[in-house]
A and B are shown apart, each in its own frame.
Chain A
Amino acid sequence: DAGVTQSPTHLIKTRGQQVTLRCSPKSGHDTVSWYQQALGQGPQFIFQYYEEEERQRGNFPDRFSGHQFPNYSSELNVNALLLGDSALYLCASSLQTGSGANVLTFGAGSRLTVL
C-alpha cells in the first residue's frame, strides 16, 4: 500500500519565481495538509484541505496557496519566491474522523532551494 507520495523530490528556483509542489495522499485518506520545515527546525503547519476547501491555515502569507482535487490529491503553490522559502515541504494525509486522535501519514517531502 503506497503511502504519501510527493513530487518533485528536489528542485531549485530563483528569487521571484513561482513553484508548484504535488502530493498524492495515502489510499483511503481524504484530508491533506502541508508543512514547511526549515533546516534544523520542526515542521510548521501551512494549511489543510478537506472536501476541496482550505479548512485551517497557519501563519503563512497568501503567497502560499493550495488546491485539492476530487481524487484528494493536492498542490502547494508558492509565488514570488524569497530566499527564506528554502525548506523541506512536507505533505501529510489522514482520514477525517472529527477527532484529535486521528493519525497523520507524512510524505518524504520536496526539498526547495531558492537562489
Chain B
Amino acid sequence: DAKTTQPNSMESNEEEPVHLPCNHSTISGTDYIHWYRQLPSQGPEYVIHGLTSNVNNRMASLAIAEDRKSSTLILHRATLRDAAVYYCIPRAYNNAGNMLTFGGGTRLMVKP
C-alpha cells in the first residue's frame, strides 16, 4: 500500500469548516482512498472513501486531487464530537482483505 503523510495535529473552532490534508504521492491508479477516525477510548470508525471523483456523505466530503497524489477530508461544520485522530489509508482496489495500514494520523482538536 502507498505511504501517506498527514499533519500530526490540527486545531479548529466549533462550527467552522475543517480541511484535513493527506499526501499519498506513491498511490497506484487503482487504489481507493479511505478515511477512518478514532474518537477517544473507541475503535476506529469509517468516515468516507473515494477513487477519483469527489465524494460526499452525511459525515464529510472527500476532495481528491486530479493527479490523485493528495486528498482532503472536509468536515463542513466541526463539532466537539469531531475531536479525534483522522487516518488517511490508501487501499488497493482488489484488496478484499481487512488489512488496513494505519499511519500516525492527524489529531484534530476542536475548540468551543
Q: Give A residues with C-beta under 8 Å from B.
A: 4, 31-33, 41-45, 48, 55-56, 58, 90, 92, 94, 96-109
Give Cα A31 to B98, complex, Å.
8
Q: Give B residues with C-beta under 8 Å from A.
A: 31-32, 36, 41-46, 49, 51, 85, 87, 91-105
Give Cα A55 to B37, complex, Å.
25
Partner of A90, one of B43, B46, B93, B99: B43
Determine how close the nearest CB of chain A comes to the CB of B94; give it in whole angstroms. Answer: 6
7 contacting pairs across A/B (C-beta < 8 A):
A44-B102, A45-B100, A56-B97, A90-B44, A98-B96, A99-B93, A100-B96
Q: Which of B41, B49, B100 has the most CB of A within 10 A?
A: B100
Give chain A residues whose Cβ lies under 8 Å from the Cβ of B101: 45
Determine how close the nearest CB of chain A comes to the CB of B54; give it in whole angstroms. Answer: 16
How many pairs of residues, A versus B, come closer than 8 Å at their CB atoms? 73
Nearest 6 A/B pairs, CB to CB = A42-B102, A106-B43, A33-B98, A100-B95, A100-B91, A56-B97
Instruction: List the B residue with the shortest CB-CB distance to A44.
Output: B102
Partner of A45, one of B42, B51, B94, B99: B99
Whether the pair A42, B105 counts as a contact (CB closer than 8 A) is yes
Partner of A100, one of B31, B43, B85, B104: B31
Also in contact, A100 and B46, with CB within 8 A (given A42-B87, A44-B102, A56-B99): no
Instruction: List the A residue with the shortest CB-CB distance to B89.
Output: A42
Give chain A residues whose Cβ lies under 8 Å from the Cβ of B46: 103-105
Whether the pair A99, B49 counts as a contact (CB closer than 8 A) is no
Whether the pair A92, B98 counts as a contact (CB closer than 8 A) is yes
Whether the pair B32, A43 counts as a contact (CB closer than 8 A) is no
Determine how close the nearest CB of chain A comes to the CB of B100; give it in whole angstroms. Answer: 7
Determine how close the nearest CB of chain A comes to the CB of B88; give it in whole angstroms. Answer: 11
Whether the pair A96, B96 counts as a contact (CB closer than 8 A) is yes
Also in contact, A106 and B45, with CB within 8 A (given A48-B99, A97-B96): yes
